[in-house]
Structure 1
């Protein structure tokens, strides 16, 4: 079955099986078409480091995979393994290294659950409490719907697009977790490093194609370490303009590569076989401080 427009309550696994260029794919192809080609041909398995973020999403938004706590002998959890009912599947040092623990993890994932240790489950609760006790974040999540899928074709390039909004109301809300600071300056570094600006422009454009509306896009950011602070941010106007141009470039690259069947590596814009290394801004500033400042 093919989908178009806004789709509510679409199973996440079904969403990921749908055709179309996603914001993740857009970020890959901006790195190089070869990276995108490898990405679609060798899908990555879910990584354990993403489990915390997924669990927090489910706790805050009320949808998605719930957690399953490893039986560790301190709670009521049990697991039947090798003909025995176990109340502790962890190693003596608490590691997830026993055969029983591995079996528990496999069983949980096969049943659509996220296996976590008890301490992680507590962190999930604290992070969710932080988000929902933040007055701005709580108000943003009062009116709207979670996990809204989007499907539409870009009219300028003919590229089929897809996206999945964390929370859609009067604004598009993107819930992010960060191992660093949720502060404005620190999260900006994190956001641009991981292409959250591209995701912002991608979802904004896709939603506009479907509805004709351009909604404000906000990031709710919660820290993964104590005191688990929450903050709300948005892209600056100049940053959003740059993100829109980069997102458009991703669609244009995808259209060209699809038409030619070629998925080249680096230097795809310049066409030069040998790249020229330019000093980043911090290096130029360091040079100015070290030499031009001393000369004065």
Structure 2
């Protein structure tokens, strides 16, 4: 699917790919398909120039968006591993993850780096917290730079011949989970398990070309963009998110149960199909979402090791009268 995504981006370079929102909820284009494809090529060349090759590990401490996706595509093309280092996990957790992953290079955006340095007192509202940059090892910046940031990933990179995408199965992504303990565990997805997970999402959601999807995770971005559907990154501010939903009228919306409860309490309205997971999705919550305008409301049960594992629509969940909580097929 990642290979299909690259072809789709090149086939329709003028189409919007990643969307954002202004404070009024108006739609703004953060990257077109062509811009995203070009960015992935630039990052591939830059990583290659820094010695990243098949079997290597690149830490990614970048908030969801065009730059994070472009880096992931570049790492995939080179056959390296992408270790997902959530900038909001906290310094102690990130130190433990770095110890497990041992990346040869960490790619971080400017906001995450500032939160580790001069802007640490201001980082709380952004939910960002990295260890001191010196603890991360070699660091490169993606996106706009701020004072004190590491050099740009693609700064000064010479034009190089881009390699063909590595096509054999190997480690692709390292995702971290604590399970039932406070100690992070590294879950390694291979290229084939990553492809299987994304194919499952595509078969379940069946995104339609040209109609926007709202959601920020890798498993939302790739299947949607590969199908020709632009993806809107959810606004962090609740009133803006509510206006964003109204303006976009997305065909599919992916948000966590706590975020959906906040929207419902704020009078938010939905369109199309709504998907939620990462926390228990009760029948009551799914019913409220449909009453707020959604055509369908789905609860997704997923594991870090297997994404997704099961899914169920509100009507089937509400009809279940047996013991326990029905998580679906």
Greater RCO (Cα-Cα under 8 Å, separation 6 or more): 1
TM-score bin, normalised by smaller chain: under 0.3
Structure with max Cα Rg: 1
TM-score, normalising length: structure 1: 0.23
Higher strand share: 2
TM-score, normalising length: structure 2: 0.21
